[in-house]
Structure 1
Amino acid sequence: MPDTLPSEAADMKARVGEASAFLKKLANPDRLMVACALVEGERAVRELEDLLGIRQPGLSQQLGELREAGLIVGRKEGKQVFYRLADPRVETFITTMHALFCAPRGETP
């Protein structure tokens, strides 16, 4: 058996770490709820707090984790900070997860 992987397998192995880190970040229930809330578009921190029932200190921690992982981005407008999903891959993944798990029963395809 050769010591080298076929090119396709080597490419997959190189990317598995990124995929695993992505999934680990979203494995936290609060972070997943935040991402699901952002699937519909940008939201203010206060709006997320009210919508999700996560108190401000905990929400800030989860937003920081998602931001650090590059899954969300924020912008400041006056005293408010607004967040949205960061890139098309995140949006595609969360849209699928949202449809499968977050949408009201009977609305999934």
Structure 2
Amino acid sequence: MAAETAGTREVLDRYNDAFRLHDPGLLTDLIADDCVIEDSGPAPDGVRREGGEACLARWSELAGNRALRFTPERAEIHGDLAVQPWVLTWGDGDEDRLRGVNLLRIRGGRIVEARGYVKAS
């Protein structure tokens, strides 16, 4: 279990770095061919993307967007599951930020599933 947790942490750290550093290239070998993403929006159910290419395209678009500032908070790792809270900022006002969490399932050194949730009023 300790090796699995370490592998999950390593993948999560590289994933977060791609968004923090605006470097989509860091995502290339982190996404499984059968990856599934469930985005946080649009409400109420978000958009589901299936397959490594679709997931890479979506995350690359977000990671490369320099107008967004992604700040990961302290994550919890439970075997192959990472619970990653974050803050997304796109301006200087209080209304220009959003808090959320990603649940990422990581197997064999690749992300196989990701679900995003946001706090909303």
Question: Shorter-chain TM-score: which interval?
Answer: under 0.3
Structure number, greater radius of gyration: 1
Higher strand share: 2
Give the structure-1-normalised TM-score. Answer: 0.27
Higher helix share: 1
